[in-house]
Structure 1
Amino acid sequence: MFLVKRPFLFLGLLLVFHALAQSQVSERPSLQAGSLAGEIIIDGVLNEEDWQNTPVMDSFLTTEPVERGMPSAPTLVRVIATEKAIFIGVECKDPDPDRIVRFSKLRDTDISNEDHIKVVIDPFLDGQSGYILAVNANAARYDALVSNRGESENEDWDTIWEARVSIDENGWNAEIRLPIQSIYFKKGLTEWGFNIERRIQRNQETIRWANVERDQFFGQTSRAGLLTNLPVFNYGWGLSVRPSLVSSLNKEGADAATIFKLEPSLDASQRIGPNVLATVTVNTDFAETEVDTRQTNLTRFPLFFPEKRAFFLEGSDIFEFGFGTGSNTVLPFFSRRIGLVDNEQVPIIAGAKINGRVGNTAFGGLGVRTDAFDSAGSSYDATTMGVMRVRQNVFKESSVGLIASVGDPLGRDGSFMSGLDFTYQTTRFKGNKNLIAGAWALYADREDLMNDRSAFGFKVDYPNDKWDLSLTYSRIGEDFDPSLGFVPRQGVHYSRLGTVYAPRPNWPLVRQMFYEVFASYVKSINGEWQSYSLFTAPVNWRLESGDRIEMNVRPVGENITEPFEIADGVTIPVDKYHFIRYRLEAQFAAKRRLNGQVSWWFGSFYDGTLDELELELNWNPSSLMGFEFSGVRNIGRLPWGDFDQTLVGMRVRFNVTSDLQLNAYGQYDTDSRILGVNARIHWIFSPQGDIFLVYNHNTLDDITDRWTLQNEQIVLKVRYTFRL
């Protein structure tokens, strides 16, 4: 209890962990970058003389299906560095090219279950940050920021780069060009952290150059190799100007007039040195942003939807705060609070942002001015909001930092939030294991907040291949409500203990088993319990084929202190409830043209029963076409009323090339009874310019056998980035 009440005294224990983690650091492998004498044409064919004169690296080992095994096919990697760009050439040898798994061509699609290569670079050589580039055998590009110190990836980040592939009788080849202006880097370094990974999907095989250990994550740049012989980079003036022109036709309601708008938008950025970027946006437009995927909600807490807007995603890794925070407890800064109120867009007049790194210090600042707007019958004035984050690297892989925000989306006075966090991480605990531990504390205020406005917590995590153990604790004050944050429940103590044991049996059909137990307990500040859950997985087997089967048992408790409406006309009354949920789940390997996942939760639910059926189905008849179906069906039978909920979505992808795609996404749910269609044509006519043609259409089923138009929109957006 003493640690709970004084979380930062808990940090003293981290010194003990640090002492245990000290060991002999193995030498990092290195690859020498070549120089460019002629010209490289990015076409996926490595036939230029400069490629032949560049040092080649082919020393790969497998992490799957066995650790440090020999790959089933050779992989050859070359890197050329100039003052303006990094070129990466990869030859992926394959004895049977016809069996290469390649479906996707869409930018930023999930290519993890296809043949692909993935590159991570650490231009600061700090072991805590990095950029990830990946490309599959169809030239579908994926880029991301290293997140959570390598445990995860922020895949919503985008930058300007090129990639092309070719397939021949020997396998497939990839050619990548990354302009130096597209990333931050530490000036004066002649070597960067670098690693590369290849997936051979039909064999369920993963190979790496460096960090060839299952206990380590590919994104952990502290374990990456080194790319050496780098030149003095020249980013020019460091100025990027991206004007956009947006024309739209908008119709609100069946009887409304169609309104035409033609509006310019401008984003500009200026480098202040090689590793600091200042950005401004004027009359910001997000027409190209995909619509949110709808969700069903059977809880009394708000749903979380991720950020998708490019302006807020740039440098978003710097704003990450507090190991152990998240959408189920606390997010002190949630950028969707800016420019969105009740899922309705609020015009952004202008915004400015600065983010980067100086030495071992990462920092970011964001300020936005939104226009006046009306919502739910109320009018709100224009308002200014801002957030600031500073994070100092310590202990090689650890950090200490602070965060602060001011302003309120609804213009409420006196709004601010501040906090401190410390995260200790090592990838060398007892030699070669991962260990992460951290603590954080926050305080928020506003004119309407009167009681406890603080929050704090800690987490200890041992995330490794065979054992993954974690302990999380958070205390959220009853009036802790940061205006620019996300807090699903207030006035609680939240505790969670997780254990995953994942052996790899020497069986012909099963590759790995996951025996999971996750226990969570939530009680109010005054000590009365609110919720508990014990999630268990007696069966969770990943097969050699790539398929997966799982069975779960989950006892649940809910102490309902105020009635809440779980579905239209069905209200859960005040009482204490104890019930048990069961799940059967099967996942079908994505190496097949037809793949997906089916899940069935069933069992008692409050004082009744509930069946939750979920289906995800992907069909890729060719590289040109792709279909994705998702469906959720909830069937509840309760003493206070029955309910049936259905949510379906269908996405059709028409992939002409990796630079020209047509996507159509339709959604319908029986709660809102709204059929929504979002169709987009995206043409990347150059690495620096693209065109979007977007069609949005929403109609309401008013239960009178008639569909009523809610809104309709056609948007044409053209943008181009000028770099100097």
Structure 2
Amino acid sequence: MRLGHDDRNLYVRFKAYDDEPGSIVAQQMRRDVEAMLAEDVLAIAIDPEGDARNGYLFVVNPNGAQFDALIFDGGQIRFDWDAQWISNARIEADGWQAELSIPLAALASQPAGESRRHWRINAERWMPRGSERVRLAGVQPDKDVHSLGDALRIPAIEAESTAQNLRLKPALRWVGESAAASGTGRDRQRLEPSLEVFHQAQSGLRSALALNIDFAEAEADERQVNLTRFELFRPEKREFFLRDAGRFTFGGLIESTVIPYYSRRVGLDANGRGRSLDAGLKVSGQLGGWDVGAFASRVAGGPTEPGSPNQRAAEVAVVRLARPQGEHGRLGLLATTGNPAGTSSSSLVGLDYQHRDTQWQGDKTLEAHAWAMHSRNEGQGDDSAWGGSILLPNVGLNLRAEVQRIGTNFNPALGYLAESGIVRSIGESAWWHRTVEGADIMPGLDWQYRRKLDGSETSWQLNPEIAYFTPAGEGGLVEWFVEADTLASGYAPVPKLWIPPGSYRWHYLFGTLQSATSRPMYFTAEWRFGGYYDGKRNDQSARIDWKPTPSWGAQLGLARNELVLPDASFTAWTSSFRIDYTPSTRLGQSLLVQWDNVTHQLGFSARLRWQWSPGKEAIVALDRLGYTGERNAGQIGQTVGMLKLVWNFEP
């Protein structure tokens, strides 16, 4: 690996020697496909701040296909982050090589100064043919290349000019909506300009200004049937909110039952429908030894779905500050204000502490979090929540344990909350055994406990399990669940099926099986059978991915949930089909079709993304939502089409 730079870019050149170049696995051309990580790949992790907290991961395969991710909290990762960078790769007689050109602006690079004496980097190569991993530093089975505490220090790369400090991203979009999709009762077309401005100050702070942007190009959410009483958590997919998303994480709460700032609340409803962003401003980086993240926006008013009343425009803001405490600690503050629904005034303030040590007891990793929050909402009052967690992601004892107490009137209006008024604990414990051949065997015990603060409901779950996976990722998991639940009020998991109040206890068996994603065709299958409250529930799901060539790919998924209760039964079906055509790393097309018999929605989502030259791209999106069979009153088919032209300029 060789590194070099000029005043705009960091250049990385890899040479991967191989005695059998014909056996190199390179199936993907499409960007950010997680299955690519199981192919022959080269990766580099970069921490330009040098404090083992925040960084970036860049991965390339022999086709030049890209995968990038945001690193935060020292070793956590967000695969849904994207940067604009260039990669080229080719297979040769003695192996393959790759060249990366990464803008220093994407790395928040700045003059080194006294506080920037070093960067941290790590790199690795994965070869699926022999399940072999070669890493620059920290090569242990229980550590990833993005564990920044194990990365090597190198002299900080100084930007030799300020040319990269400003980037303009104007765009022009045409949107056509059917009468039902527009919410106005008539078809609507509009032509709208938008602008995003990115600036980096000499202090290292980065700012992003967005004017009149929408998110029609974001891919549709994966269709799921919700059989619980609580809102499903769905990941963010909009580029504007993903930039520097790690700066806003709090208390280790990433995909949890409570999150103080959940960006999908801004401009989207629970079904993923939303409005444009009139204006948004984000500032992030380091200033005076503090990690800083601040965001403010104004969301346009209007209906979020057909037949719904117009919502008022909403002004919301969030501020995140964190400061290192010694070598392993970090103390932070988070505050939010505003209600995304535009209905009432709301605010929240929280404190958190993180301890992360990647050399605990020599070569182990220990991570712990503690946090407390207080919310205030007009008409609902004040209340608090607190919690903590510990994580030991190591070979040998492998443990994750978490406890939370959430007040009855606690409500993070700008966040995510599955349920208030509870005390809950969740945990996973296992003994991770790595064989000489590199296979993983993990017997373990997981648990969950939940109790309403007023004592009206209590539920718990225990599930012993055993998992086995080969170095290539083939294997499976078997779990035995024992559950109990006391319902203060009944609920309907699906239409026409009712679970009455009462105390229940049941057990069931769950299993999953998967093949290696480095194969041209691979699958994942899950099954469950056994009890469900005072009845039975049998589930089966399978997904098959097929890559006949690097340019073509297809995915077929089918899930069945059979619920049988004493008075009624229902079988929920969910199906999806996706086809991708990626003739080059700069042109990609996809079609996703989804259907379920609970909402009776049949959805089509087509995307085309073409980068006709560096920094210039065209995006075409077409979404059609129809209904089959039974439907509720007011459910009418909707169609939305969009053409968007984007330019990037660096004055």
Which TM-score applies when normalising by structure 2? 0.95
2:224 paired residue number: 295
Separation (CA, whole Å) in 2 of partners of 1:102 and 1:141? 12
Amino acid of the structure 2 residue aligned with 1:402: L
1:468 paired residue number: 398
Separation (CA, whole Å) in 1 of partners of 2:529 and 2:428? 23
1:174 paired residue number: 98
> 1:20-35, aligned counterparts within 5 Å?
none
2:152 paired residue number: 225
Local SS of the residue matching 1:582: strand
1:503 paired residue number: 433
Q: What is the alpha-carbon root mean square deviation over aligned residues?
A: 2.0
Separation (CA, whole Å) in 1 of partners of 2:62 and 2:198? 33
1:240 paired residue number: 167
1:531 paired residue number: 459
- Cα distance, 1:254–1:459 mapped onto 2, change above 3 Å: closer
Residue 436 of structure 2 is aligned to residue 512 of structure 1: no
Separation (CA, whole Å) in 2 of partners of 1:326 and 1:529? 26
Residue by residue over 1:278-331, the C-alpha shift from the partner in whole angstroms, topping out at 9 and shown as x without a partner, is: 2111111212111111111111111111111111111110000003x3433210
Amino acid of the structure 2 residue aligned with 1:493: V
Amino acid of the structure 2 residue aligned with 1:401: G
2:521 paired residue number: 594
Local SS of the residue matching 1:317: helix
Residue by residue over 1:117-139, the C-alpha shift from the partner in whole angstroms, topping out at 9 and shown as x without a partner, is: 11101111111111111111111
1:126 paired residue number: 51
Local SS of the residue matching 2:149: helix
Residue 408 of structure 2 is aligned to residue 483 of structure 1: no
Contact 2:179 2:188 in 1 (8 A): no
Residue by residue over 1:2-60, the C-alpha shift from the partner in whole angstroms, topping out at 9 and shown as x without a partner, is: xxxxxxxxxxxxxxxxxxxxxxxxxxxxxxxxxxxxxxxxxxxxxxxxxxxxxxxxxxx
Contact 1:204 1:546 in 2 (8 A): no
Separation (CA, whole Å) in 1 of partners of 2:464 and 2:379? 41
How far has the Cα of 1:359 moved from its partner?
Answer: 4.3
Which of the numbers 279, 294, 298 marks the counterpart of 1:350?
279
Separation (CA, whole Å) in 1 of partners of 2:548 and 2:485? 46
Contact 1:408 1:483 in 2 (8 A): yes
Separation (CA, whole Å) in 2 of partners of 1:463 and 1:504? 13
Amino acid of the structure 1 residue aligned with 2:393: P
Which of the numbers 386, 390, 395 marks the counterpart of 2:317?
386
Contact 1:127 1:396 in 2 (8 A): no
1:307 paired residue number: 236
Contact 1:522 1:531 in 2 (8 A): yes
- Cα distance, 1:410–1:714 mapped onto 2, change above 3 Å: closer
Separation (CA, whole Å) in 1 of partners of 2:59 and 2:181? 45
Separation (CA, whole Å) in 2 of partners of 1:263 and 1:274? 34
Separation (CA, whole Å) in 1 of partners of 2:68 and 2:318? 25
- Cα distance, 1:443–1:230 mapped onto 2, change above 3 Å: closer
Separation (CA, whole Å) in 2 of partners of 1:379 and 1:546? 49
Local SS of the residue matching 1:245: strand
Residue by residue over 1:461-516, the C-alpha shift from the partner in whole angstroms, topping out at 9 and shown as x without a partner, is: 2221222123211000011111101110111111123211111235x7x8110112
Residue 549 of structure 2 is aligned to residue 622 of structure 1: yes
Contact 1:184 1:274 in 2 (8 A): no
Local SS of the residue matching 2:525: strand
Separation (CA, whole Å) in 1 of partners of 2:601 and 2:454? 42
Amino acid of the structure 2 residue aligned with 1:146: I
Contact 2:301 2:310 in 1 (8 A): yes
Unaligned runs of 5+ in 2: none
Amino acid of the structure 2 residue aligned with 1:259: R
Contact 1:602 1:611 in 2 (8 A): yes
1:272 paired residue number: 201
Separation (CA, whole Å) in 1 of partners of 2:164 and 2:510? 57
Residue by residue over 1:337-385, the C-alpha shift from the partner in whole angstroms, topping out at 9 and shown as x without a partner, is: 1111343212321111111112431111111112222356433322211
Which TM-score applies when normalising by structure 1? 0.85
Residue by residue over 1:222-245, the C-alpha shift from the partner in whole angstroms, topping out at 9 and shown as x without a partner, is: 210133474553342611111110
2:31 paired residue number: 107
Amino acid of the structure 2 residue aligned with 1:458: G
Contact 1:190 1:231 in 2 (8 A): no
Residue 491 of structure 2 is aligned to residue 576 of structure 1: no
Separation (CA, whole Å) in 1 of partners of 2:181 and 2:143? 56
Separation (CA, whole Å) in 1 of partners of 2:170 and 2:180? 31
Separation (CA, whole Å) in 1 of partners of 2:110 and 2:484? 51
1:408 paired residue number: 339
Separation (CA, whole Å) in 2 of partners of 1:623 and 1:194? 30
Residue by residue over 1:399-444, the C-alpha shift from the partner in whole angstroms, topping out at 9 and shown as x without a partner, is: 1000000001222333100000001111111111111112100000
- Cα distance, 1:560–1:140 mapped onto 2, change above 3 Å: same
Contact 1:180 1:233 in 2 (8 A): no
Contact 1:109 1:140 in 2 (8 A): no
Separation (CA, whole Å) in 1 of partners of 2:428 and 2:508? 18
Separation (CA, whole Å) in 2 of partners of 1:465 and 1:314? 33
1:677 paired residue number: 604
Contact 1:82 1:231 in 2 (8 A): no
Structure 1 stretch 410-419 or stretch 539-548: which is displaced more? 539-548
- Cα distance, 1:597–1:501 mapped onto 2, change above 3 Å: same
Which of the numbers 279, 287, 292 marks the counterpart of 1:363?
292
Amino acid of the structure 1 residue aligned with 2:54: S
Structure 1 stretch 693-702 or stretch 644-653: which is displaced more? 693-702
1:144 paired residue number: 69
Percent identical among aligned pairs is 27
Residue by residue over 1:144-176, the C-alpha shift from the partner in whole angstroms, topping out at 9 and shown as x without a partner, is: 1103321x3111111111000011111111000
Contact 2:203 2:287 in 1 (8 A): no
Separation (CA, whole Å) in 2 of partners of 1:464 and 1:282? 45
Contact 2:48 2:156 in 1 (8 A): no
Amino acid of the structure 2 residue aligned with 1:498: E
2:15 paired residue number: 91
